[in-house]
A and B are shown apart, each in its own frame.
Chain A
Amino acid sequence: MSEPILEVQNISKFFGSVIALKDVSMFVRAGEVTCLLGDNGAGKSTLIKVLSGVHKPDEGVYRYQGSEVSFSSPRDALDLGIATVYQDLAMIPLMSIWRNFFLGSEPTVGWGPFRRFDVDFAKRTTREELGKMGIDIRDPDQPVGTLSGGERQSVAIARAVYFGAKVLILDEPTAALGVKQAGVVLRYIVQAKQRGIGVIFITHNPHHAYPVGDHFVILRRGQIYGDFTKDEIPLEQLVQMMAGGADLEVLSHELEKAAEGGGPGADELEKVAEGFEAEARGEAD
């Protein structure tokens, strides 16, 4: 097993009297996907912000490529190759795809006061890079606002990869998406992994995490509840742990009853359940 590219050990973060994170340790290796699972309020957002350089941890060690680091801004982390793609803040809707793609890191040509944004290069590169990720855009000039949610996430991922991300932190990239769209994003996560990038995939949906993840870190109430490799844990157990078992069992009994009752939605429910299982099996192979 290779060394982790990014690792935090016993990280704690306090906001006044609130303990947002307590003794959290996790890591990701190059070419692997670490899934960070947790329900709302589990501390996922705080952990992302620590990892991406927005917050400094109050306790604990942050290691990147073997050496200890400390960031004073997200820019510092980005410069080292730790890129974060936020769920809703990834793109600027009114700007064209190519302007978005290079925002903040514009390629320039020319000299002195005549240094200018290399527009042709930007347009060409945007098209090529998205093509490499399997995203076939119609026209790089179209505003990002005309793209679907999944496409937007994908463009943001492609951008991070192009700018040399070695670690990609994805904050709930599939949360607001439909099934098909989520599938598209999951495919890009696999693409990024195959290109040797360490991916930290934050989600509250174990069905999205399981097919792509190599190991799973479960966060609950600001602490690590468990850290499992894929061999150690089947999907069902992951789902149970995520939601705190009992609640979910009640729910699933209710669903089963509804299905047995043969109501109008019964067939559909069964299909959904089968679909999830099939997805998990199919992608896990």
Chain B
Amino acid sequence: MVSGEEVSSLAVNTQPAQAAADERIREVGVLSRLMARPELGALVAVVVVWLFFAVVAADNNFISWATTAAILNRAAPLGILAIAVALLMIAGEFDLSIGSLVGFGGMAIMMLVTPVEAGGFGWAILPAIGVALLITLATGFFNGVLVVTTKLPSFIITLGSLFIFRGLAVAVPRSATNRTQLGGLDEVSGYGPMDAILGTKLELFGARFDVAIVWWIGLTIIATWVLMRTRVGNWIFGVGGDNVAARNVGVPVNRLKIALFMTTAFAAFLSALIQAFQFNGADSLRGSLKEFEAIIAVVIGGTLLTGGYGSVIGALLGTLIFAMVQQGIIITGVDGDWFKVFVGGILVAAVIFNNFVRQQATKR
């Protein structure tokens, strides 16, 4: 890991360090500084993908507020998931159940508000949201406790949860209400004020932006602050970098991991809640494959699959790339079947690029 040249340049002495000018620190250019940031690859990719569609889809009105709004509206629900997935992955764990939890959380809300005669509980909107949130958080707790007590890879544990919670999201509503899609949220008492903060569209520049975008960006800022500037953030990096070493210096590894699994469950719930207001109801199958899309967005954003390194801003950029490609393919009229080819290609390219950047960053 350490080259001979570096060893010889070590010059350790017993005198206190001269703080001022150290001849061993080179003036590092802005570019090199940027290279050390995990988000760099994603930032470059955002620009490249945008330019690509700006040229290719120029006739299809790609550079317009309407298209920008469409991209951001598409990105926000996935982006909310990606924030929590990024934190969890930096801590070295996976949550493959997050997509299922979107379906599960949405159906939990709708089951509680659906009238009794239709097989539901007929609650008002606020208590329904509160209780559904608690149930969904409990699923995250369940995932976290299973992972830390069994010490099995979270990949396997949450792969199981993926099926368990998707199965519950289908089976419970079907046996109670005979349906896997529940609508009519706007008829529930207390709908108005909640819709204003979760489902509204904001008119700006003649385009309609979902209020979910505000949640997405706001949570990204909060999560970035937590990760970079709080104790918990330092623990997340430490646990992802080396579980045992972190435990040895007193980081509460198990509690942290359980909390992070509950954070992904919370993100799934928020995403489900926002979509319930957007679509005026829930669908048992909502959120299918979102677990992979969120992981892809996070990895494109520069987070290492092995943990210990990454960023939430990167996850935001990764989500943006995802949504731009999706929207770009739709408006250029290219067959939608090509979308997956494109996304897979970007994913592989991103991983290769991230690997390269990380090696450069840790070498200097």
Write the residues of chain A forming the contact surface with B, with a CB cutoff of 8 angstroms: 74-75, 78, 84, 86, 89-95, 99-100, 102-106, 108, 115-117, 119, 127, 130-132, 134-139, 142-143, 145-151, 154, 178, 180-181, 184, 187, 191
Contact = CB atoms under 8 A, between A and B. Distances in A.
B187 interface: no
Contacts of A154: 12
Given A106-B231, A138-B25, A148 B17 contact: no
Chain B at the A interface: SS class: loop
Q: Which 8 A-B pairs have the closest CB atoms?
A: A92-B241, A104-B249, A104-B250, A131-B17, A134-B14, A136-B17, A106-B231, A89-B245
A116 B241 contact: no
A38 B352 CA distance: 46
Contacts of A84: 248
Given A104-B250, A142-B364, A92 B231 contact: no
Interface stretch (B1-9, B61-69, B278-286): B1-9
A78 B250 contact: yes
A173 to B, nearest CB: 15
B234 A99 contact: yes
B235 interface: yes
B22 interface: yes
Given A127-B17, A146-B362, A148-B7, A92 B25 contact: no
A104 B229 contact: no
B229 A103 contact: no
Interface residues of B, number: 42
B15 A134 contact: yes
Nearest to B6: A148
B251 interface: yes
Contacts of A132: 16
A143 B246 CA distance: 16
B11 interface: yes
A136 B363 CA distance: 19
B22 A94 contact: no
Given A89-B245, A134-B16, A136-B22, 4 more contacts: A95-B237, A95-B308, A103-B251, A117-B229
A89 B242 contact: yes
Contact of A94 (B12, B13, B230, B308): B308
A92 B47 CA distance: 33
Nearest to B249: A104
A86 B249 CA distance: 11
B309 interface: yes
A187 B14 contact: yes
Contact of B250 (A75, A100, A135): A75
17 contacts: A74-B248, A75-B250, A84-B248, A89-B248, A93-B241, A94-B241, A94-B304, A94-B308, A99-B234, A103-B251, A131-B16, A134-B13, A134-B14, A136-B22, A139-B25, A149-B2, A184-B10
Contacts of A89: 242, 244-245, 248
A161 to B, nearest CB: 14
A105 B12 contact: no
B364 A146 contact: yes
Contacts of A139: 25
A148 B8 CA distance: 10
Given A92-B308, A187-B14, A138 B24 contact: yes
Interface centre among A117, A131, A180 (most CB of B within 10 A): A117
Interface in B233-288: 233-235, 237-238, 241-242, 244-246, 248-251
Contacts of B244: 89
Interface in B202-248: 225, 229-231, 233-235, 237-238, 241-242, 244-246, 248
A151 to B, nearest CB: 7
Contacts of A143: 361-362
Contacts of A180: 7
Contacts of A187: 14
B11 A103 contact: no
Given A146-B363, A151-B12, A95 B17 contact: no
A180 to B, nearest CB: 8
Given A117-B230, A145-B1, A127 B19 contact: yes
B295 to A, nearest CB: 19
B7 A94 contact: no
Contact of B237 (A92, A105, A147, A181): A92
A150 B24 CA distance: 18
A136 B250 contact: no
A284 to B, nearest CB: 19
A168 to B, nearest CB: 14
Interface string B46-61: 0000000000000000
Contact of A135 (B12, B225, B248): B12
Nearest to A98: B234
Contacts of A135: 12, 17
Nearest to A100: B238
A104 B246 contact: yes
Contacts of B238: 92, 95, 99-100, 103-104
B219 to A, nearest CB: 15
Contacts of B361: 143
A187 B10 CA distance: 15
B234 A103 contact: yes
Contacts of B12: 134-136, 150-151, 154, 184
Nearest to B25: A138
Contacts of A74: 248, 250
A105 B145 CA distance: 25
B234 A102 contact: yes
A94 B306 CA distance: 11
A103 B251 CA distance: 8
A119 to B, nearest CB: 7
Contacts of B230: 108, 115-117
Contact of B234 (A106, A146, A148): A106
Contacts of B16: 131-132, 134
B123 to A, nearest CB: 30
